[in-house]
């Protein structure tokens, strides 16, 4: 597969192109079988960008394929800053990672995660955390390759496991 000209950049939700790209990618993510297989409810979609803008600990990155003109957003990472009392340092939680189907297996997810890990170091985070669906074997393999520790994954009752990686 040919590799695209990829650019990772923080999403600026005050810019319409970034806001539209985030919403479009999250809608595509919601339609994935692992995410429920249907669009976000209209009442959620209509509040999503404003809610993210207002959320002071949200951090988002977009992956842009610059071979397309205009550039196309092909991936998204949505994170939130937290704090670990046991590490006495901030943490960065990856809430969503999504790569558009046509752009998978091209290093987009890895590039987004590199940006997340770099931001975690810059913020002084002691770790990056994430949740992964217990039925999503592909995501689990990906996160293990990036050094995430699944410890003793236990089902919390929602089919999701909590994984960490020290920074």
- Domains annotated on the chain, with CATH: 6-166 (3.40.630.30)
Report pLDDT for 1.
42
Which is higher by pLDDT, 150 or 72? 72
The CA-atom distances, in angstroms, between 19 and each of 41, 127, 133 are 18, 28, 26
Residue 119 in tokens = 């931001």
Q: Is the pTM of this model over 0.75?
A: yes
Least confident of 46-50, 53-57, 102-106, 150-154: 150-154
Residue 164 CA to residue 167 CA, distance in Å, equals 10
Report pLDDT for 133.
86
Residue 90 in tokens = 């901030």
What are 77's strand-pairing partners?
A: 61, 97
Residue 41 is given by DSSP the state P
Average pLDDT of the segment spanning 141-164: 80
On the question of pLDDT at 158 being above 80, the answer is no
Phi, psi of 30 (to 5 degrees): -60, -30
The CA-atom distances, in angstroms, between 133 and each of 18, 136, 148, 159 are 27, 5, 14, 6
Phi, psi of 69 (to 5 degrees): -125, 115
Q: For residue range 23-48, what is the model confidence (pLDDT) as tens digits?
A: 999 999 999 998 899 999 999 999 99
Decide if 66 contacts 7 (C-beta within 8 A).
yes
pLDDT band at 71 (very low <50, low <70, confident <90, very high): confident
The CA-atom distances, in angstroms, between 11 and each of 14, 21, 66, 115 are 9, 9, 15, 12
Report pLDDT for 160.
85
Q: For residue range 77-130, what is the model confidence (pLDDT) as tens digits?
A: 999 999 999 999 999 999 999 999 999 999 999 999 999 999 999 999 999 999
Element (H, E) at 51: helix 42-54
pLDDT band at 153 (very low <50, low <70, confident <90, very high): low
């Amino acid at each position: 597969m040919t590799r695209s000209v990829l650019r990772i950049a923080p999403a600026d939700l005050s810019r319409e192109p970034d806001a539209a790209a985030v919403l479009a990618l999250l809608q595509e993510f919601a339609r994935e079988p692992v995410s429920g297989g249907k669009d976000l409810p209209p009442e959620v979609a209509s509040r999503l960008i404003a809610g993210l803008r207002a959320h002071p600990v949200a951090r988002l990155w977009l992956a842009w394929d610059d071979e397309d003109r205009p550039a196309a957003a092909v991936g998204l990472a949505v994170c939130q800053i937290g704090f670990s009392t046991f590490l006495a340092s901030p943490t960065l939680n990856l809430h969503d990672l999504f790569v558009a189907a046509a752009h998978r297996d091209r290093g987009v997810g890895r590039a987004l995660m590199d940006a997340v890990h770099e931001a975690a170091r810059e913020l002084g985070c002691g770790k990056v955390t994430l949740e992964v669906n217990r039925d999503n074997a592909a995501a689990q393999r990906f996160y293990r390759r990036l050094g995430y520790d699944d410890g003793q994954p236990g089902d919390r009752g929602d089919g999701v496991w909590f994984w960490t990686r020290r920074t």
